[in-house]
Chain A
Amino acid sequence: MSILAKKKKRQGAEIPTSSMADIAFLLLIFFLVTTTIDVDTGIGMTLPPEPDETTPPPPVSDRNMLKILINAQGQVLLEDLPSSVAQIRSEVLTHVQNNGVDARYSDSPSKAVVSIKTDRLTPYNLYIQTLDEVWMAYFEIWDTEARSLGHANYVEYRSNLADGAENEIREKWPAQVSLAEPDPGN
């Protein structure tokens, strides 16, 4: 009798699963806390490839080049004229959208180049502000173009673009930002 009762009890023995949810919850909370879903944002650039000694850089005529120079003291020189960071955006806009009207600015949007030259001692913060203004000018142009094509803005146009499809706005208004080698400084 006693043997039978013992056997029966063993067969019915089970691992309690009621605490399973609690253990899983604990692990879940740990991973929830440690997970960082931060998307890195930044100003994207493509560096020019390492210069080849046999092939000289492509010639850019002076009128197609908008020169921005920032010195170590944080002073901005726009096309050899003393200026400020706040003026860069409008200057880039007139330069790119000139289409050969004004002789001082570019021939066509596809030929327009914006060149940024810094000193070795230029504050990085100012460089980013300058780069930001230049890109904001291009974003403005792209937004206007996207609206004329019947989109809300450029970001919406780009997200609706099919995979592998050509970005016609970028094709029409290519952003050509060149980073010149800085002066050695003192």
Chain B
Amino acid sequence: MSHFTKKSKAKPEISTASLPDIIFMLLIFFMVTTVLREQEVQVRTILPQAEALTKIEQKRYVSYVWMGPEKLPGNRVGETKVQIDDAVIEDLTNVRSIMYRKLNEQPRLIVSLRVDEESEMGVVTDVQGELRKAGTLRISYSSRRDISNI
């Protein structure tokens, strides 16, 4: 009898039966949080640095507008272009209809303007004018924190 107790003590093993369940739970968490629809940005956007930043926590309200010089093959950049979702917008009056449609789908829409720091105000003003006409008034000038200050 004493022989038996000794044997059971010699092999204390952690049960690994629930391991797949734990991993699956983590897996499902990451699957849910992953955003796979990552747009191919066709313009260069090096964001300006700023201090007075606010975070946009509700990612589903955000719609991006990229503005900056168009990326060309061979590390060259072309003229300043505006991109919404996957398409480069040639005629800026189209911004209005696109944003109007998006606003109907999401009334609390925030438009995040991701503008290259070397752009000029002209294109930004034009896009803002179209946003005003579409009624999408909540905007955010996407900027990054100044790293040298930390």
Q: Enumerate chain A interface residues (CB-CB to B < 8 A).
A: 17, 20-21, 24-25, 27-28, 31-32, 34-37, 39-50, 118-125, 127-129, 131-132, 135-136, 138-139, 179, 181-182, 185
Known: A21-B20, A32-B30, A42-B56. A128 touches B48 (CB 8 A): yes
Majority secondary structure, B binding face: mixed
Beyond contacts A41-B55, A138-B52: 8 other A-B pairs, Cβ-Cβ < 8 A, are A39-B56, A39-B59, A42-B50, A42-B142, A43-B140, A43-B141, A47-B131, A124-B118
Known: A44-B140, A124-B119. A50 touches B133 (CB 8 A): yes
Q: Which residue of B lies closest to A37 (CB)?
A: B33
User: Which residues 10-33 in B have Cβ within 8 Å of A in the complex?
Assistant: 16, 19-20, 23-24, 26-27, 30-31, 33
B54 near A21 with CB under 8 A, answer: no
Please name all residues of chain A whose beta carbon is closer than 8 Å to the beta carbon of B20 when the two chains form the complex. Answer: 17, 20-21, 24
Q: Which residue of A lies closest to B29 (CB)?
A: A31
Tell me whether B87 is interfacial, beta carbon within 8 Å: no
Tally the A-B contacts, defined by beta carbons under 8 Å.
148
Q: Which of B1-9, B71-79, B101-109, B122-130 sits within the interface?
A: B122-130
Please name all residues of chain A whose beta carbon is closer than 8 Å to the beta carbon of B131 when the two chains form the complex. Answer: 47
CB distance from B67 to the nearest CB of A (A): 8
CA distance A179 to B121 in the complex (A): 12
CB distance from A24 to the nearest CB of B (A): 4
Interface string of B43-73 (1 = CB under 8 A from A): 0000010111111110100100000000000
Please name all residues of chain A whose beta carbon is closer than 8 Å to the beta carbon of B133 when the two chains form the complex. Answer: 50
A118 near B53 with CB under 8 A, answer: no
CB distance from A145 to the nearest CB of B (A): 16
Tell me whether B117 is interfacial, beta carbon within 8 Å: yes
CA distance A42 to B122 in the complex (A): 20
